[in-house]
Structure 1
Amino acid sequence: MTERVLILGGRGRIGSSVAQDIATHTQAQITITGRSPDTGKDASSFLGKQVQFLVLDLAEVDKLEKAIANSDLVIHCAGPFHYRDTNVLETCIAQGVNYVDVSDHRSYTSKALNCHEKASAAGVTAIINTGIFPGISNSMVREGVEQFDKPEKIHLSYLVSGSGGAGVTVMRTTFLGLQHPFEAWIRGKWQLVNPYSDREIINFPSPYGRSGVYWFDMPETFTLPHAFPSVKTVITKFGSIPDFYNHLTWIAAHVFPKWLMQRRYMIEFLSHVSHFMTDVTNGFTGIGVAVRSEVEGIKNGKTAIYCSTVVYENTAVASGIGTGTIAQLLLEGKLNKPGVWPVEEALSTDLFIQAIQSRGMKIEQDWL
C-alpha cells in the first residue's frame, strides 16, 4: 500500500521543501495543509501528482484528528513553535501515527519530550527538531562525539545568507529568540546567557570564510548535554550574511526595551521589515547556509578537536533534506524507536551519512 504523509504547514517555504524531498525520494502520497484555499492552488503544479492540498487550521480539532487518522506519518512544519502546544503530537500518539517536526524552540521541545512515555507505550516514533539546525547539525555532532573516548565540549556555529530562502516565519523565530536570557551548559553548570551576545569570529568554509556568530537559544543547547553526559560545555551560536544584519539584530536584542521586544506586533513589524530587506540583499549574498560542528575531547589519552562542516546553497532546501531523510527512513521502516526523541538520540550515524550522501550533500570532516 502507498504510504500517506500529512505535512502541516506544508505550503510554507520549509514545508514545501520537505514535501519536495519526500516526493523525490519516496513513493508516498503527500497531503500538505494551509489555512487558506489560495495557498494550495498551485500545489500539484510545483510538486506533482504525488501531492494534494487540504485546507486545515490547527484550531479545527475534529478535522485535524481525521486528517491524522488517515495518515501513516505526520510532519509538523507549522511554526513558529514558540506559540505551539503539543496537541498535534498527542493526537498522533492517540492515533498510533508516527510524528516528525521542524521545531526549533526549547519551550516546545521540553513540552514534546514530556510526551515520551506516552509515545513509547503507544509504539509511536516521534522525532523532533529535524531540519538543518537543529537537525543535520545534531547528527554532525553525534558523528563527532563518536570519534572520542571522552567527548568534553561541543561548539556549534550556524551562518545563514540573507533570508536563507525561508519565509517570514523564520524571521519571527529569530526575533522571538531575542526576548529572554536562556540557560546554557557551560563547564558542567547551567548558566544564564544573554541572546546575541559574545560575538565570535568563526572560519567557515568557502564562500563564507571568517564570519561573526553570537549566542542563540536553540533546543540542542539543552538536548545535547542530555544525549552526551560526559560533555561539560555546549555552545550554540548563530550569525547572518551580510554582517550588518548581525549588528541590527544585536541592537534589537540589547538596545530595544525588553517590554517592546515581547510584544507580538513588534515581532511582526521587525519580521516583515527584515524579510523585505533580505529580498533586496539576496541577489548578492545568496540564500545559503553553513554549519560548523566542533567537538573537543580525549582520544587515546590526549586532547583532540574534531571538526565537521557543511555548506548548502539554499537554507530552506537544506532543512527539507534534514526532515525528508528522517521521513524516508521512517516510511521504509529503517528508523523505529518508540518515544519522543531529538535527532541525535534517534538517528544512527550510519543511516545519517547514507541518507545525506544520497541527496548529494557533502559533509567535510577534519582533525584540528
Structure 2
Amino acid sequence: MSLRVLLIGASGVFGSRIARQLAGDPRFRLTLAGRQSTSLAALGESLGDPAVQMAVLDVAAIGLVEALTALRPQLVIHAAGPFQVQDYRVAEACLACGSDYIDLADGRDFVAGIGRLDARARAAGRLLISGASTLPAFSSAVVDALLPRFSALKTIHHAISPGNRTPRGDATVAAILGYCGRPLRLWRDGRWQWGRGWMSTRRQVFPFGGRWVGLCDVPDLELFPSRYPAVREVAFRAGLELRRLHFGMLAAAWLVRLGVIRDLARHAPRLRRMSEWVLGAGAMWAAWWWSWLVAI
C-alpha cells in the first residue's frame, strides 16, 4: 500500500522540490498542505499528477490535531519555516494522531530542543526527526565521513556560498536576517564564547573560487560540541555569490548591532526581491539606502 504523506509548506521553495520528487511515485499518496489554496492549486497543476490531493492548513491555527487526524497521514513532512520562531505543535500533533514526523528545520534552538519529545515518540513507536536539511543533516554526515582520516578532530570550520540565482524563499531569508548583527554562542577554545551573526567575515576558498563568508547561527554550533567531544572550536559561515550583496548584508548587520535597525527579519520579502534584482551595482546602492530607511 502507498504511504500517506502530508507535505506542509508544499508551495515553498523546498516544499515544492519535495513535492516534485514524490509526485507520480506509486509508493506515496501525496497531500499538499499550505495556507494559500491558490498556490497549492498552481503547484498541483504543475505536477500533472491527478492523484495528488490538496489541504488548506495553517500550522498556527487552533485545531491542528483535529485537522491532521482528519487527513490521516502516516508521515508528515514539515517544510513551512522559518523554524526560528516556531514551537513543536506540529510534531506534537503528529504524535497525537499517530503519524511519523520529519522537518527541514535549520533553527538552532528548534533542532537542539526537539529531544524533549524523544520519550513520547519512543513510547508511541513513532519516528520523530528534526533538522533534515543542509544543516545539520548533511554537514554532520560529511564530518562523520571524514572522521576516519584524522587521529584527532579539534576544529570544525565549514561554510556554504550559494549562487545568486539559487531559489530562496522568504522563510529562508527571514531566518538569516533574524540573527544578522545579533549575539550568537560559539564553541571556541573548548568553552562557550560570543560572536555576531554575519560578522567575523573572512575569505573562504571553495573549489569554484574564493568568496566572502560570515558567521551564521545554525544547529551545528549547538550540536557538534557534544557530538564530537574532542572538538575545541566549531564555526559555520555562509556567504553570497555577489560581493556587493554580501557586504550589503554585513552593513545591515552592523546597523542591527548599533540598534539602528530593530527588526530586520520582517523585511525579508522585500529584501529577497531586491536581491533578485541585483545584477548590477545600482540596485545594491538602492538596497543600501533602503536599509537606512527601514530603520526609521
Q: Which TM bucket (shorter chain)?
A: 0.7 to 0.9
Secondary structure at the counterpart of residue 114 of structure 1: helix
2:191 is aligned to 189
Q: CA-atom RMSD, angstroms? A: 2.3
Q: Is 1:125 equivalent to 2:122 in the alignment?
A: no
Contact 1:72 / 1:98 at 8 angstroms: preserved in 2?
A: yes
1:277 is aligned to 274
Of residues 64, 67, 74, the one that matches 1:72 is: 74
Q: Is 1:136 equivalent to 2:133 in the alignment?
A: no
Secondary structure at the counterpart of residue 161 of structure 1: coil
The amino acid across from 2:169 in the alignment is G
Contact 1:11 / 1:40 at 8 angstroms: preserved in 2?
A: yes
Q: What are the ranges of 5 or more consecutive residues in structure 1 without an aligned counterpart? A: 284-368
TM-score scaled by length of structure 1: 0.70
Q: What are the ranges of 5 or more consecutive residues in structure 2 without an aligned counterpart? A: 281-296
Cα distance in structure 1, aligned partners of 2:62 and 2:203: 47
Contact 1:188 / 1:233 at 8 angstroms: preserved in 2?
A: yes
Contact 2:35 / 2:58 at 8 angstroms: preserved in 1?
A: yes
Contact 1:43 / 1:51 at 8 angstroms: preserved in 2?
A: no
Q: Is 1:95 equivalent to 2:92 in the alignment?
A: no
1:325 is aligned to none
2:290 is aligned to none
Contact 1:74 / 1:98 at 8 angstroms: preserved in 2?
A: yes
Cα distance in structure 2, aligned partners of 1:262 and 1:146: 45
Distance 1:76 1:259, change over 3 A: farther
1:1-368 map, 5 Å: 1-23=1-23, 27-49=27-49, 50-67=51-68, 70-162=72-164, 164-178=166-180, 180-206=182-208, 209-256=209-256, 259=259, 261-263=261-263, 266-269=264-267, 271-281=268-278
Contact 2:34 / 2:55 at 8 angstroms: preserved in 1?
A: yes
Residue-by-residue CA offset, 1:7-65 (whole Å, 9 max, x unaligned): 11111111111222233766211111111221112232222325221111113343554
Contact 1:196 / 1:250 at 8 angstroms: preserved in 2?
A: yes
Secondary structure at the counterpart of residue 75 of structure 1: strand
Cα distance in structure 2, aligned partners of 1:46 and 1:149: 51
Bigger CA drift: 58-67 or 33-42?
Answer: 58-67
Secondary structure at the counterpart of residue 106 of structure 2: coil
Residue-by-residue CA offset, 1:218-248 (whole Å, 9 max, x unaligned): 1111111222212221110111110111111
The CA deviation at 1:157 is: 0.6
Contact 1:182 / 1:217 at 8 angstroms: preserved in 2?
A: yes
The amino acid across from 1:194 in the alignment is R
The CA deviation at 1:76 is: 0.9
The CA deviation at 1:119 is: 1.8
Cα distance in structure 2, aligned partners of 1:272 and 1:192: 29
Distance 1:205 1:257, change over 3 A: closer
Secondary structure at the counterpart of residue 132 of structure 2: coil
Secondary structure at the counterpart of residue 154 of structure 2: strand
Cα distance in structure 1, aligned partners of 2:24 and 2:179: 33
* Larger RCO: 1 or 2 (CA < 8 Å, sep 6+): 1
Distance 1:149 1:61, change over 3 A: farther
Secondary structure at the counterpart of residue 162 of structure 1: coil
Residue-by-residue CA offset, 1:136-177 (whole Å, 9 max, x unaligned): 222112211243343222111110222620222211111012
Cα distance in structure 1, aligned partners of 2:123 and 2:149: 33
The amino acid across from 1:212 in the alignment is W
Contact 1:37 / 1:55 at 8 angstroms: preserved in 2?
A: yes
Cα distance in structure 1, aligned partners of 2:99 and 2:260: 41
The amino acid across from 1:6 in the alignment is L
Residue-by-residue CA offset, 1:263-299 (whole Å, 9 max, x unaligned): 3xx4232x2332222322479xxxxxxxxxxxxxxxx
Contact 1:133 / 1:158 at 8 angstroms: preserved in 2?
A: no
2:294 is aligned to none
Cα distance in structure 1, aligned partners of 2:152 and 2:98: 38
The CA deviation at 1:214 is: 1.0
Question: Higher strand share goes to which structure?
Answer: 1
Identical aligned residues as a percent? 26
Contact 1:163 / 1:278 at 8 angstroms: preserved in 2?
A: no
Residue-by-residue CA offset, 1:47-99 (whole Å, 9 max, x unaligned): 23252211111133435544256111111111111211101111222333221
